[in-house]
């Protein structure tokens, strides 16, 4: 895989995933590309998106890709450092819009394989809690677990965030 460095940053809600991922990207010279998968469907999500944008400086260029993540990654030129936030929101968008998850994941992995620059992927760990009570939530949990395993197999570095502290699962810091 030609990626210079591929990081997967996993963690629960409010674990510090995004801030840690931003610090990994900002360790390289700008410009930096931020690929956002969230959709501002309600006021609470609009506030979350605004807070994320507000803490990033002028070196960041944001691309919104709620569904076409592989294409957005392909459009990042040369060695530009890229941060994708977040894979589980992207997965949710795919599932709720009736897309073939397996095809989209294969497309993502292919796009990552074509990258020639550092790439940091953020995703929420959703499989460590109780078994969800409905089929859609169980399908999502299972799909997220499979997605994480596939991406982690290709990643040089996997970090798991616990209470704002990165735990190295694979690779180095």
Catalytic residue IDs: 52
Rounded CA-CA distance 145/141 in Å is 6
Non-local CB neighbours of 107 within 8 Å, separated by 6+ positions: 69, 70
> Residue written as tokens 């959703």?
126
- Reading phi first (left if > 0) and then psi (alpha if -120 to 50, else beta), residue 164 is in left
Tracing tokens 């994320």 back to the chain, one arrives at 52
């Amino acid at each position: 895989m030609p990626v210079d460095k591929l990081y997967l940053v996993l963690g629960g809600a409010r674990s510090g995933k995004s801030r840690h991922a931003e610090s990994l990207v900002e360790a390289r010279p700008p410009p930096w590309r931020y690929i956002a998968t969230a959709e501002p469907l309600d006021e609470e999500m609009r506030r979350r998106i605004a807070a994320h944008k507000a803490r990033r400086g002028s070196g960041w260029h944001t691309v919104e890709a709620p569904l076409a993540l592989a294409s957005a990654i392909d459009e990042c030129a040369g060695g530009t450092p890229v941060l994708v936030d977040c894979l589980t929101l992207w997965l949710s968008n795919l599932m709720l819009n009736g897309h073939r998850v397996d095809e989209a994941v294969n497309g993502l992995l292919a796009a990552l394989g074509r990258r020639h620059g550092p790439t940091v992927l953020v995703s929420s760990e959703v499989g460590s809690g109780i078994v969800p009570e409905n089929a859609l939530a169980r399908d999502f949990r299972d799909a997220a677990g499979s997605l994480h395993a596939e991406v982690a197999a290709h990643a040089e570095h996997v970090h798991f965030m616990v209470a704002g502290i990165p735990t190295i699962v694979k690779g180095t810091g």
